[in-house]
Amino acid sequence: MAKILQMPIQTGKIGVFDSGVGGLTVLREIMAHLPTESLLYFGDTARVPYGDRSQTELLRFVREIITWMQGQGVKMVVMACNTSSALALETVRAEFDMPILGIILPGARAAAKAGRRIGVISTVATANSNAYKQAILEASPVAEVWQVGCPDFVPLIEKNRIDDPYTRAVATDYLKPLMAANIDTLVYGCTHYPHLAPLMEQILPPSIKVINPAQSLVSAMAKELDMLGLRNTQSKPDIDFYVSGDPIKFAKVSGQLMGFSLQVQPVSLSVLEGLAIAQSV
């Protein structure tokens, strides 16, 4: 695939994408710590969840989304999805001439600083990739890492069943092996999982430090923007929301999670697939 040229500008939006509402936890951190930046959020809700997809599928999805975002004039892309960061980041970085940031490395480094006995909860695909374990051990060779794939979390969060007793039972079951291993640090290895923070606080002992990689990712974004001279200083930024699935459903769930009403626009899969095919010719 030919490398695609892009000339980013300071006033361009930062593109943020995820399979669904999970990336909103990253968006919230960006809004809080980079308040002058305009943002474009894309949720690939027609193809959620990503956690049981193959690497080939995910790479195709990511190429389609970044190509579409490039057409919207974004100056930077943030892969607010651990699964796609684990399986597609390095490939698309080599194909697109714009800054593309993933979430795993910042989160792994934060975890390595926080503790020695580290548990990672994530999608099955992220767990199987060993991306977090490798990154944590590179940052701290003396660390011990336990990983648990949690296939039920994303569907439950996408349906806004966060307060459902069933979700608590599922979370308790997923955390059992990590508690048995006496972890001192827990990493949210999926951007959906910070939505479960109040539930996790009820289950986890207070001695366990919880790492939300989104916080470290935003720090990395700030450094990258400054280094490349892309920091936006305008006083009235805006945010656009797009989804590949049902915009009304997404607006309802995400509005409850974010605490404000969202105007969400649809982007059909045929448009995404057509753009990617055209770029590959």
Cα–Cα dist 116/136, whole Å: 10
| Residue tagged active-site, from 21, 59, 190, 217 | 190
Phi-psi region of 27 (alpha: psi -120 to 50; beta: other; left: phi over 0): alpha
Residue 252 and residue 260: Cα distance in Å, rounded? 10
CA-nearest of 60, 81, 63, 96 to 16 is: 81
- Verify whether residue 81 is a known catalytic residue: yes
User: Residues forming the annotated binding site for substrate?
Assistant: 18-19, 50-51, 82-83, 191-192
Task: Give the position of tokens 């690497």.
Answer: 55
37, 205 Cβ separation under 8 angstroms: no
Distance in angstroms (rounded) separating the CA atoms of residues 129 and 180 = 23
- Among 81, 105, 218, 267, the one annotated catalytic: 81
**Which amino acids are annotated catalytic?**
81, 190
